[in-house]
Structure 1
Amino acid sequence: MTAPARTSAPTALWVLRILGAALLAAMGWIHLDLWLDGYKSIDVIGPAFLLNTVGGFGLAALLLVTPRRFLPWVAALGALFCAGTLGALIISTTVGLFGFVETTAAALWWESFWVELAGVVVLGALAVLAARRRPS
């Protein structure tokens, strides 16, 4: 009876790992696409988009290769990274960020919003689930 429960938790962890990595990579790709599309010429915002690209792809790779004992920390870091990016998007849309004001009509705004929000939820859930379950 306990065997299915023991195998379903590692499966759930891997599903969340892969989904979380895909969301981080998607966030990185969105920022790279926007950077290449002209955001690179915006002071502070341009370099931040490039750093977000590196961070998104780097965390996606790290999430897939990290040992099980460090998974809660890497997942939490990914969730915080997504939350920070989402916060910056909302701030730039409402009051502006570093002198730059974004609009929801901008290219990939909504895609970015949903990917970042999903990243917070998925990676947050992964961090909690991985922390609750001891390595076997």
Structure 2
Amino acid sequence: MTTTTTRGRRAGALTWVLRLIGAVLLAVMGWLHLDLWSDGYRTIDVIGPAFMLDAIAGFGLAVLLLVAPRRWLWLAAALGALTALGTLAALLLSTTVGLFGFVESTAAPLWWETFWVELAAVVVLAVLAVDARRRPA
């Protein structure tokens, strides 16, 4: 009985660590998009509004990840992972072939920071989504 209780506590602690790391990554992702939006990306057709939506989504999903009840945690984590994956894909597309007529460079401000934050968010949130879905509430 003690082993089961200890294992359950460890699993619960790991879930909270993943929640916190995921929320921080989503908030940083939101901040990066908001910062770039305010630095001039807001004037770029389609890209500007998308950056504002990404900022709002990043902050909103970070909060959702922290307040979601256990039974809905998998969904909040999956939404966060999909959002991060979408922004990462858009970043890579804009750097290679362009996106909506906009071509980015890896030398652009915050490009590498954005890449690593979004990649980490995809990994952490995907792990959390799978883990939360497997473990009953």
Give the 5 Å matches for 1:44-55. 44-55=46-57
Quote the Cα distance in structure 1 between the aligned partners of 2:135 and 2:11.
Answer: 8
1:1-136 correspondence runs (5 A): 1-135=3-137
TM-score using structure 1 length? 0.98
Distance 1:132 1:15 in 2: 17
Distance in 1, matches of 2:10 and 2:108, equals 41
Measure, in 2, the Cα distance between the counterparts of 1:3 and 1:65.
Answer: 24
Q: Percent identity?
A: 66
3-state SS, counterpart of residue 100 of structure 2: coil
Residue segments in structure 2 that go unaligned for 5+ positions in a row: none
The code of the aligned residue for 2:64 comes to L
Distance in 2 (alpha carbons) for counterparts of 1:60 and 1:69: 17
Unaligned 5+ residue runs, structure 1?
A: none
CA shift digits 1:67-106 (9 cap, x unpaired): 1000001101100000000000000000000000000000
Shift of 1:3: 1.6
Q: Structure 1 residue 124: deviation in Å?
A: 0.2
Give the superposition deviation at 1:4: 1.1
Distance in 2, Cα, partners of 1:22 & 1:6: 24
d(CA) in 1 for partners of 2:69, 2:6:
23
Q: Deviations 1:11-68 (Å, cap 9, x if unpaired)?
A: 0110000000000000000000000001001010000000000000000000000110
Could you tell me how far apart the structure 2 residues matched to 1:85 and 1:77 are?
A: 12
**What CA RMSD, in Å, does the superposition of the two structures yield over aligned residues?**
0.5
